[in-house]
């Protein structure tokens, strides 16, 4: 079972930059009217204008903070009554700190935005899609869902949980005509990494990062084909294959070099 090839309406959360912005472009190029959701109104308006200037359907701008209960409930009310063809849970936040030096508030914020909000919106939108008889959800996780990641313990845990949740939900909803696809990108050339305390000038980062356009294209293609998990790019596929061959401690050490700064190591 695959998603219909014509996407009329789509929603992308966290659409003001990075992979979310690229996903909005990819869906618009396929003819969809995209609802773009984020906190930064200026960024969203600029994106909507740019897409419309290319002769594509102008996206609907929805300024909202998904950590705000009023904003979240308002969006749920809208989408439960009129679900889109495709719903993308992309909004998220990272935290690159050793676990013991991470503050509780930041950890709770990450778990809420990266895991609890996608689960809640998947329930709202998924239920409406099941009633209609078709639809597709794309949850954006991370390659970190497959590996232990030093200085990234909470993020990896949240993305692993999101991956397993999404795979389980797909098994529940697919018989009703609704698919759930999980996109697991790796290091990507976005401000997500620029804003965090990452070694963005390191050789590992510069050689490994992917273009968000390529990630978005792979995600939407996988969704349309009804795939359960999408790992974009040959580099990540090779990495997952090597996971079975390389000693576990080597993988952890390599992840630490890529994700931890010198000031973090040993804390």
Residues noted as catalytic: 155
- The Cα–Cα gap between 96 and 144 comes to 12
* Residue 127: burial class (beta carbons within 10 Å; 0-12, 13-18, 19+): middle
**Interatomic CA distance for residues 88 and 222, integer angstroms:** 13
Residues 142 and 230 sit within 8 Å (Cβ to Cβ):
no
Torsion of CA 165, 171, 173, 174, to 10 degrees: 130
């Amino acid at each position: 079972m695959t998603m219909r090839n014509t996407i009329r309406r789509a929603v992308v959360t966290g659409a003001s930059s990075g992979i979310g912005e690229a996903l909005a472009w990819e869906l618009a190029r396929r003819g969809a009217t995209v609802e773009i959701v984020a906190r930064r109104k200026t960024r969203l308006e600029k994106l909507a204008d740019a897409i419309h200037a290319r002769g594509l359907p102008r996206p609907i701008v929805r300024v909202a903070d998904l950590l705000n209960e009023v904003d979240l409930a308002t969006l749920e009310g809208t989408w439960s009554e009129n679900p889109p063809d495709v719903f993308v849970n992309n909004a998220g936040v990272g935290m690159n700190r050793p676990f013991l030096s991470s503050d509780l508030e930041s950890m709770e914020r990450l778990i809420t935005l990266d895991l609890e909000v996608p689960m809640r919106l998947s329930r709202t939108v998924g239920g409406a899609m099941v009633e209609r008889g078709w639809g597709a959800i794309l949850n954006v996780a991370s390659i970190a869902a497959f590996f232990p990641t030093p200085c990234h313990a909470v993020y990896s845990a949240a993305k692993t949980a999101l991956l397993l949740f999404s795979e389980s939900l797909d098994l529940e909803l697919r018989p009703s005509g609704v698919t759930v696809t999980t996109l697991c990108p790796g290091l990507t050339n976005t401000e997500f990494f620029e804003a965090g305390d990452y070694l963005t000038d390191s050789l590992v980062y510069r050689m490994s990062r992917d273009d968000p356009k390529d990630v978005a294209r792979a995600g939407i293609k996988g969704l349309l084909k009804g795939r359960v998990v999408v790992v974009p790019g040959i580099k990540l596929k090779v990495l997952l294959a090597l996971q079975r061959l390389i000693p576990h401690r080597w993988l952890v050490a390599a992840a630490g070099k890529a994700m931890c700064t010198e000031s973090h190591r040993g804390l």
